[in-house]
Amino acid sequence: MIALGLTAIAEISTDHMCRELYPEVKRLMKTATSSYIKQKAVLAAIRTVKNIPDVIEDFLEIIDQLIYDKSQSVLMATVTLMVEILRVDDQFIKAFRKYVAPLVRTLKNLLMSGYAPEYEVGGVKDPFLQVKILQLLKRLGEKNSEASDEMSDILAQIATNTEATKNPGNSVLAECVRTIMGIEASSGLRVLGINILGRFLMNRENNVRFVALQSLQSVVDIDYNAVQRHK
């Protein structure tokens, strides 16, 4: 009983702190000249929307600026904030669909840009940002054919051009397949995604094969014939 009381007090304290500090968080998100400070402010906003979701709308105007930020660390934090907002309240999916085009453009730039050692992992350019954008695109493409069509080409490019010999590439490909299967994708794009899972089955890493089996089990009802070919 005492433990429950202390937990409740802690939650009240956290909520109160978030409500007191979030105007300053918003200010730093808007005006900070340092990418590091701006990133930290966005991360604080993530904590804020978890604790006091009624202030989410206050962050929408700032997201409209940050989604075009040139810093990949700020963009990563911003996309994470958007994913968290949709987890808390999915009514904002419609408002976020206007960002499909810039998100697709960011993924294209990552695929086509030159060598960037500060963001490259295992031959894949910023796999963490790619995965997070793919997670957001999956939510934005769910049950919406227009948004799904807008992202289909880049999903096909990622599926065919990502290096699959190391875990960073496999992580991006696995998330790409989840996105393909979660949106209103064409049958050809779905087959491409399922074929990636088929290649995962032949990987020497048990973790990769486990991901393939788990994913195939979840998509067998979507496209039985495509999965059947990997029996």
Note the pLDDT tens digit of each residue in 101-131. 999 999 999 888 755 566 677 678 889 999 9
pLDDT of residue 126: 87
Torsion angle, alpha carbons of 186, 192, 197, 203, to 10: -170
Residue 131 pLDDT: 95
Cα–Cα nearest to 53, from 91, 96, 24, 27: 91
Q: Give the per-residue pLDDT at 170.
A: 86
pLDDT tens sequence across 50-87: 988 899 999 999 999 999 998 999 999 999 999 999 99
The alpha-carbon radius of gyration of the chain (Å, integer) is: 20
Report yes or no: 86 and 93 within 8 Å, Cβ to Cβ.
yes
Predicted TM-score (pTM) of the model is: 0.85
Task: Give the tokens for residue 123.
Answer: 């031959």
Write down the pLDDT at residue 19.
84
Cβ distance 219 to 181 under 8 Å? yes
Pairing mode, strands 120-121 and 124-125: antiparallel
Question: Amino acid identity, residue 121?
Answer: V
Query: Would you state the pLDDT for residue 147?
Result: 95
Helices (H), the chain: 2-31, 35-51, 57-66, 72-88, 93-96, 100-112, 127-141, 145-161, 167-182, 187-201, 206-219, 224-228
Residue reference for tokens 């660390």: 73
Considering the chain, what is the average pLDDT of its residues? Answer: 84
Q: Please check whether residue 56 is in contact with residue 49, taking contact to mean a CB–CB distance below 8 angstroms.
A: yes
Low-confidence ranges of the chain (pLDDT < 70): 1-13, 114-119, 122, 219-231
The SS3 assignment for 1 reads coil
